[in-house]
């Protein structure tokens, strides 16, 4: 089947769609129209070039126009911007940015892969020199040139999402003093607050100054006789001088081309597509950051600007253009981030999303080691599992730690997308050797802990519920060892080490509910099982002191 396929935008989705279209049809004409100077580059790698971890800029170029022509016979027109879409005549108007000449090109099928642009809210002074967003290689080069020419020593990063945190890490690596400003009470919105707190601690330990729950009011003139680029003034009144400012506030889908052509746009501003990634026009398809997709857990329309989904969508569209019937099943939002020595990862829904959509759920926290404790280098992880309380279907997971996070989140993301339950997690047969894991892998342990709750073997209480307890009706029981008390304790708790609990049972009152905790939740689980069988009403603090303490760090 011979077709003329035009693709607006390269990078991840567009380049993938082009290459797969060629594999499906050697005789078709495939043309990529790219507004920038590079057709396919690793935009996720841009911060790491700024920080020097990636040293050769050429390593960021996934494909070049010459390479796509030689390998796939794909024509690439860089520095060419599509300025109008005419669906009725199946054509697009292109402006050659070098010659400034406009011309029309016709298509049989059109793929929109325009991506998303950085948000630039109307904050006074946001157009000042020395303020940068990062989307492409030219932005990266401009940041590096500015830092070099101005001999910058201090940076303010606005926004604590993926780009913001990566830029904090990489600018710190370059030797700059960093201040991070975030309008929300936490960084990394996909994480729940007690999990994001691990990142807060890591940032503070690296002497990054955190301003949370404090949005930017304006970018003001620097003080007289200083050479800073700007002063970042916050709603609280704080004024932070900066040699360079990185704006990582978020992104917005580039959907104006489609909107102006009268095609359907979703409520969140993204291009509305069907399961096959077709738009409201049968000859126009859309992929990547520009589209709205269905959330795999909630079913609601969401924007998910991630490279992995964009690549898969490019392949699906190419198949469907040539008669396929592939469907995009939705996005779980699986993501991972390194922030200094801490790794944060998530998949599926968080508590905020489940509450908003009134989806019933239960939660467990645990802190397993990354591999066998007796093998050198084991590191504790913080894991949070959200699941359906009736059937046990996995709804979401969040993990933070210094080692072993990546492979556990990938297993959990696979389980979630496959509709597995916490019962299935316990039964997974995962690779084990002391340097890599444990005989009971953290994923298996997560399933076991969740099953204890589902089978009614244990009743949990969450960290944020502790403050709601009536001290006249409740005993908070600390079953840790004596030496662990140096780390602190939950106020008002009674300390009886697990090893002494049977001998000191008379110190507990049966007319009070007992809330048991230890360091991570395992010993308090043992205590709960014993106490429940001894006639006490008892609940286990899930995640125990480690989770409670992190959630209360200010």
**Which residues are annotated as catalytic?**
44
Burial class (CB in 10 A: 0-12, 13-18, 19+), 553: exposed
Residue 269 backbone zone (phi > 0: left; psi -120 to 50: alpha; other: beta): left
E strand or H helix that includes residue 413: helix 405-417
Rounded to whole angstroms, the Cα distance separating 493 from 514 reads 10
Residue 306, Cβ neighbours under 10 Å: how many? 17
What b/e sequence results for 221-255 when a residue is b if at least 16 CB atoms lie within 10 Å of its CB, and e otherwise? ebeeeeebbbbbbbeeeeebbbbbbbbbbbbbbbb
E strand or H helix that includes residue 539: strand 538-541
Dihedral of CA atoms 155, 157, 162, 165 in degrees, nearest 10, equals 50
Strand partners, 397: 347, 385
CB distance 342 to 358 below 8 Å: no
Contacts of 60 (CB under 8 A, 6+ apart): 41, 42, 45, 46, 49, 54, 137
CA distances to 138, 144, 412, 487, 516 from 461, rounded to whole Å, are 51, 49, 23, 21, 9
DSSP-derived secondary structure letter, 366 = E
**Tokens (6 digits) for 125:** 């002074």
CB distance 112 to 9 below 8 Å: yes
Contacts of 544 (CB under 8 A, 6+ apart): 365, 367, 517, 518, 519, 520, 521, 524
Rounded to whole angstroms, the Cα distance separating 407 from 166 reads 20
Contacts of 25 (CB under 8 A, 6+ apart): 1, 2, 3, 322
**Tokens (6 digits) for 351:** 């508590």
Residue by residue, what is the 3-state secondary structure of 226-275? CCCCEEEEECCCCEEEECEEEECCCEEECCHHHHHCCCCECCCCCEECCC
Rounded to whole angstroms, the Cα distance separating 226 from 222 reads 7
């Amino acid at each position: 089947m011979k077709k003329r396929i035009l693709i607006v935008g390269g990078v991840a989705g567009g380049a993938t769609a082009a290459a797969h279209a060629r594999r499906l049809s050697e005789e078709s004409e495939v043309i990529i129209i790219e507004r920038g100077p590079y057709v396919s580059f690793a935009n996720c790698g841009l911060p790491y070039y700024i920080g020097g971890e990636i040293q050769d800029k050429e390593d960021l170029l996934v494909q070049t126009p010459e390479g796509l022509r030689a390998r796939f016979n794909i024509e690439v027109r860089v520095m060419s911007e599509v300025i109008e879409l005419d669906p009725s005549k199946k054509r697009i108007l292109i402006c050659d940015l070098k010659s400034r000449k406009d011309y029309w090109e016709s298509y049989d099928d059109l793929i929109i892969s325009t991506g998303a642009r950085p948000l630039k809210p109307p904050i006074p002074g946001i157009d000042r020199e020395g303020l940068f967003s990062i989307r492409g290689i030219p932005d990266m080069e401009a940041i590096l040139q500015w830092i070099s020419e101005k001999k910058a020593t201090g940076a303010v990063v606005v926004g604590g999402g993926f780009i913001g945190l990566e830029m904090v890490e990489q600018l710190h690596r370059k030797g700059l003093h960093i201040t991070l400003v975030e309008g929300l009470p936490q960084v990394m919105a996909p994480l729940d607050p007690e999990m994001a707190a691990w990142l807060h601690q890591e940032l503070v330990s690296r002497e990054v100054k955190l301003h949370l729950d404090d949005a930017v009011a304006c970018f003001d003139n620097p003080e007289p006789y200083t050479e800073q680029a700007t002063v970042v003034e916050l709603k609280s009144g704080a004024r932070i001088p900066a040699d360079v400012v990185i704006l990582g506030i978020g992104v917005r889908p580039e959907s104006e081309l489609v909107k102006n052509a009268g095609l359907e746009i979703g409520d969140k501003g993204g291009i509305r597509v069907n399961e096959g990634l077709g738009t409201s026009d049968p000859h126009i398809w859309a992929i990547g950051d520009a589209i709205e997709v269905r959330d795999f857990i909630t079913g609601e329309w969401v924007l998910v600007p991630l490279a992995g989904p964009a690549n898969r969508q490019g392949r699906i569209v190419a198949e469907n253009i040539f008669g396929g019937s592939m469907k995009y099943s939705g996005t779980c939002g699986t993501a991972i981030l390194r922030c200094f020595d801490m790794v944060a990862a998530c998949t599926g829904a968080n508590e905020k999303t489940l509450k908003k959509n009134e989806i019933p759920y239960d939660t467990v926290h645990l802190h397993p080691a990354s591999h066998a404790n007796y093998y050198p280098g084991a590191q504790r992880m913080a894991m949070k599992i959200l699941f359906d309380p009736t059937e046990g279907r996995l709804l979401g997971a969040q993990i933070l730690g210094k080692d072993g996070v990546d492979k556990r989140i990938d297993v959990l993301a696979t389980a979630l997308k496959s509709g597995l339950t916490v019962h299935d997690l316990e039964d997974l047969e995962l690779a084990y050797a002391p340097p890599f894991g444990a005989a009971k892998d953290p994923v298996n342990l997560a399933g076991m802990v969740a099953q204890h709750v589902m089978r009614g073997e244990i009743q949990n209480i969450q960290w944020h519920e502790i403050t709601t307890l009536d001290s006249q009706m409740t005993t908070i029981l600390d079953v840790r060892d004596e030496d662990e008390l140096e780390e602190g304790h939950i106020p008002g708790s009674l300390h009886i080490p697990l090893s002494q609990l049977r001998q000191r049972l008379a110190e507990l009152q049966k007319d009070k509910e007992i809330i048991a905790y230890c360091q991570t939740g395992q010993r308090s689980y043992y205590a709960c099982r014993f106490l429940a069988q001894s006639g006490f009403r008892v609940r286990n603090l899930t995640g125990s002191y480690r989770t409670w303490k992190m959630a209360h760090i200010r």
